[in-house]
Amino acid sequence: MAIKNAFYAQSGGVTAVINASACGVIETARKNKDKIGKVYAGRNGIIGALTEDLIDTSKESDADIAALRHTPSGAFGSCRFKLKSLEANKREYERLIEVFKAHNIGYFFYNGGGDSADTCFKVSQLSEAMGYPIQAIHVPKTVDNDLPITDCCPGFGSVAKYIAVSTLEASFDVRSMAKTSTKVFVIEVMGRHAGWIAAAGGLIEDQGIPVVILFPEVEFDQAKFLAKVDEMVKKHGFCTVVVSEGCHYPDGKFLAEQGSRDAFGHAQLGGAAPVVANMIKDALGHKFHWAVADYLQRAARHVASKTDVEQAYQLGEAAVDLAIKGKNSVMPTVDRISDSPYKYQIGSADLKDVANVEKFMPKDFITDDGFGITEKCKRYLTPLIQGEDYPPYKDGLPEYVTLKNVAVPKKLSEFKI
């Protein structure tokens, strides 16, 4: 059998380490040229496959591919585009197969979160449903840390570290100012349904910082929240609030919705921090400051977790290994062996068990009052932010790579999506 090429694409929100997974995929494929041909990347994710807009990664130097390991964002472009079911949109699946055939693609590496795992699972069924041999491997990535089975998701550890470090620093700042000025600092973090990122703010409590966390998993109770903040300020003179963008009232209404929705139908959130800050000001009178970290948190490669970078790379590497072993419809996973010292091995999960399953914070990770994290949660989180992995700098700025992204000549006619 002729050696098949591979297709690799980045999907959904990008992270500080998704390129480290790309680096793992491409470098491992380059080491196995007798088994895997070229790696074609989709320009802007799966859209690149549908529109036959493929990037020939073999045109990139080894040094530039290596630099992906320390470069945040998605080097080939990502997209928010969800394939419908095979029944609802057979045309798109047929097109994928046409493109795969035209470019002799036998491996489909899809680097994304929950929605992307579902897409990858659908593609993995093409062999059977449409009689084309394709091995679909999902490479996990999501700052939301909500994929099941795997111990954690690449991207999360670095956001967790960023939030813990930034919240620690801002809390030190507030503590300095609290006598005559700011007494409450509110930081808004990502996390629509799962409070993993917000939980990371709790890691600084052991440094003497009073932290009140608002999780999406806990229905917002204004009176109880204000009482908690009041208690903290009276006791410590100041207080830090970490509010998840997904924090909502019992009726499901978010503390702040911007109104628009993305391609997956999710509400675009942002602005919970000023809502919470003003609530505190109105009820308790405290001077406040608030920050919305937004993209800064998920792009913050400059303070990435070394553990996270290593796992991101290893999972990319493992995806190729699984492909070489002939696997289809799987996702490499991090399987934790011990907390301290942190030990893990790379395993794998069936995509049918991953797709459309969302992992929330376990109940015993949140304190009884709903505003903090438990020791058990700290034991889970602490290893994930371990270690620093600084990018190289030049003239004061990180040397992030921008690839050439040379297009593969098209062989098919245009396809409208």
Of 366-395, binders to a second copy (CB under 8 A) are 382, 384-388, 390, 393, 395
Q: How far is the CB of 279 from a second copy (least distance, A)?
A: 13
Q: Using an 8 Å Cβ cutoff, are 243 and 276 in contact?
A: yes
When the beta carbons of 59 and 80 are compared against a second copy, the nearer one is 80
User: For residue 397, what are the contacts with CB-CB under 8 A and spacing of at least 6?
Assistant: none
Between residues 28 and 305, which has the closer beta carbon with respect to a second copy? 305
Strands 267-269 and 257-261: antiparallel
Q: Are 45 and 139 in contact (CB under 8 A)?
A: no
Asked whether position 10 contacts a second copy by CB under 8 A, the answer is: yes
- Per CB under 8 A, which of residues 288..307 are in contact with a second copy? 289-296, 298-303, 305
Q: Is 283 in the site for a second copy (CB under 8 A)?
A: no
Catalytic pick among 56, 144, 146, 151:
144
For residue 336, give the 3-state DSSP assignment.
strand
Residue 224 contacts a second copy per CB under 8 A: no
User: Per CB under 8 A, which region of 90-98, 273-281, 321-329, 367-375 contacts a second copy?
Assistant: 273-281
321 is catalytic: no
> Looking at beta carbons only, is 72 or 316 nearer to a second copy?
72
Closer to a second copy at the Cβ: 262 or 353?
262
Report 81-110 residues binding a second copy (CB under 8 A): 81
Query: Residue 73, interface with a second copy (CB under 8 A)?
Result: yes
Task: Extract the tokens encoding 98.
Answer: 């046409």
Distance (Å, rounded) from C-alpha 167 to C-alpha 145?
Answer: 19
Question: Pairing between strand 288-292 and 184-189?
Answer: parallel
Q: Of the ranges 21-29, 127-135, 353-361, 398-406, which one interacts with a second copy (CB under 8 A)?
A: 398-406
Instruction: Return the residues of window 157-186 that contact a second copy according to CB under 8 A.
Output: 161, 164-166, 168-170, 172-182, 185
Cis peptide bond prior to 341, omega within 30° of 0: yes
8 A C-beta contact, residue 313 and residue 24: yes
Q: Which residues, 6+ apart, have CB-to-CB distance to 53 below 8 Å? A: 42, 43, 44, 47, 407
Q: What angle do CA 386, 302, 297 make, to 5 degrees?
A: 85
Dihedral angle at the C-alpha atoms of 202, 208, 209, 210, nearest 10 degrees? 80
Give residue 369's region: left, alpha or beta (phi > 0; psi -120 to 50): alpha
Using CB under 8 A as the binding rule, whether residue 268 contacts a second copy is answered as yes
Rounded least distance, CB 260 to a second copy, Å: 7
Candidate list 153, 204, 276, 312; residue touching a second copy; CB under 8 A: 204
338 near a second copy (CB under 8 A): no
Residue 30 binds a second copy (CB under 8 A): no
What are 257's strand-pairing partners? 269
Residues annotated as part of the active site: 144
